[in-house]
Structure 1
Amino acid sequence: MRPGDLWSLGDYAAAGDRWAEASLRLAETYVRPGLAVLDIACGPGPFAIAAALAGARVTALDAAPALLDLARARAADAGAEIDWIEADMTAVPRPDASFDVVASAFGCMFAPDPEAMAAELVRLCRHGGRVAALAWTPESPFGAMAGLAGKYLPNGGDPATVERWTTADSVRDLFGGLPVRVQFAERSVDVVWSSLDQAVAEITDGNPAWIMIRTAVESTGRWGALEADLRDLLADHGREENGRFTLPVAYLETVAQRL
């Protein structure tokens, strides 16, 4: 299945909206008027739209046509002018050194070849510019999901490529030999649902990766056990209060300055 087809499954935007604050925080920190900004794997567009409204010249890329259509509609409603690209994020159809800021909020971590992804991010960034990437930490509930699912998947799953973006040491290795100076910060975002039941249902029925996991595990007869373990994982890390379920999720912010 092509990446664009995968991420068009379910309703990724509904879930992504719940942690959009991390994207908005990234735009607020690194985007300034007049900068040329690229949003890699833009999804429903929170970072790209925030960057455009901040006065940047923004290009946004995703492989999923459905997500791009939604992002375009949201940008139009917000009055944000953005250049949209449907393409593979490891082969962006733009010249070297085209952007002052190259950012990816929980997107580039899904690239099947992490080294190629890191090289592409750096290729697109101008000297003195910044590459910024967000990825869930291994200890966070979202980061732990890959290992949890791997216990039930017939082939054990392959979380290795995603994990390369989740710790400072592994990200340093990805950018090793590339002309950048890398810094890290660990941050957190509160992901909120009306209830734990809604959280489990939205993840298992709406998240594209979990739709694929469910399809694979249901054929083994072990889906009920995996769903119960997922519920326990969320319950252990989150809290139910005042009519809502809040899940604090830690993420690694990588910022690489192009030398």
Structure 2
Amino acid sequence: MTTALDFDAVKTRQQVTWASGDYGAVAALIHPIAELLVTAADLSAGARVLDVATGSGNAAIAAARCGCVVTGVDYVPGLLERGRQRATAERLPVAFVAGDAEHLAHPDGTFDAVLSVVGVMFAPDQQRAAAELVRVCRPGGTVALASWTPQGFVGELFRTVARHVPPPPGLRAPVEWGDEARVRELLGGAVGDLRMVRRKFVFRFGTAEEFTDFFRVNYGPTVKAFEALPEERRPQLHADLVELARTHNRASDGTVRIPAEYLEVVAQRLADPA
């Protein structure tokens, strides 16, 4: 299904997308997801940890608080710089380096734990990205991921945007990383003790319009979707996102509380067969 895709071209567009807006502002909202994942991974002090598609460093910083030796890798320089600023402010020794989730520049088995929080899920070549996660993790080490689910709010947000600005034909949806069966396909026989738990993060805003405006200004995929549309079609996308937020709102006090489901995955890297 994906053999005709030019993955490099897709990644080039993705880099521009994630560099637009201010993903650091979005990451600041969802930082609790990283803290929960690091707790679930049960990292040891001194463990060598890699945070793949680190963005502004949520999982990297959470792991550094556990006394781990942490590297965060991403292909957006501005987000790496934001991560450095955060780690410096908290006096946490995190190494932030430029890199590609599909071509990690580390030898086999370098890390005791490999993490990614709503990051590696956006790599266009899912199978290659999954193989890289496993490759750089030592046998017996931990692979831990958090990914938005297809059925959850963010999955519906992506589908709403795609109705206005379709993704490249044949590109597998990032939210497939939030499907248990797909995770088993991707990680395959390389991991054991595979534990998957569906959790919810709650977005909190004053109004549905405030939510939509925040994502329109800060979240790269919606920033670029609005830019791709002719001026006269942008109000309809805005209205559809406002309606989506209202539909998923669970608050009864006049504000907005939107539960967004994600899949938490923790697995152990198996030894390579002899």
Settle same-fold status: TM greater than 0.5. Answer: yes
- Does the Cα contact within 8 Å between 1:101 and 1:129 map onto a contact in 2? yes
Letter in 1 for 2:48: A
Q: Which residue of 2 aligns with 1:112?
A: 124
Deviation at 1:197, TM superposition (A): 2.0
Q: Secondary structure of the equivalent of 2:190?
A: coil
Deviates more, 1:95-104 or 1:174-183: 174-183
Deviation at 1:66, TM superposition (A): 0.6
Whole-Å separation in 2 of the counterparts to 1:184 and 1:27: 14
Letter in 2 for 1:254: V
- Does the Cα contact within 8 Å between 2:51 and 2:72 map onto a contact in 1? yes
- Does the Cα contact within 8 Å between 2:124 and 2:172 map onto a contact in 1? no
Letter in 2 for 1:48: A
Deviates more, 1:96-105 or 1:24-33: 24-33
Whole-Å separation in 2 of the counterparts to 1:162 and 1:155: 11
Q: Which residue of 2 aligns with 1:203?
A: 215
1:55 aligns with 2:48: no
Aligned residues: 258
Letter in 1 for 2:259: P
TM-score normalised per structure 2? 0.87
1:89 aligns with 2:129: no
Q: Which of the residues 245, 263, 267 maps onto 1:256?
A: 267
Q: Which residue of 1 aligns with 2:3?
A: none
Q: Secondary structure of the equivalent of 1:252?
A: strand
* Runs of 5+ consecutive residues of structure 1 not aligned to the other structure: none
Whole-Å separation in 2 of the counterparts to 1:20 and 1:187: 14
Deviation at 1:243, TM superposition (A): 7.0
Q: Secondary structure of the equivalent of 1:233?
A: helix
1:17 aligns with 2:22: no
1:101 aligns with 2:110: no
The 5 Å alignment of 1:1-259 reads 1-30=12-41, 31-153=43-165, 160-218=172-230, 221-240=232-251, 244-259=255-270
Deviation at 1:147, TM superposition (A): 1.5
- Offset from partner CA, 1:71-103 (integer Å, 9 cap, x none): 101100101001111111111111110111100
- Percent identity over the alignment is 33
Whole-Å separation in 2 of the counterparts to 1:175 and 1:213: 31
Whole-Å separation in 2 of the counterparts to 1:22 and 1:139: 18
Instruction: Note the aligned Cα RMSD (angstroms).
Output: 2.0
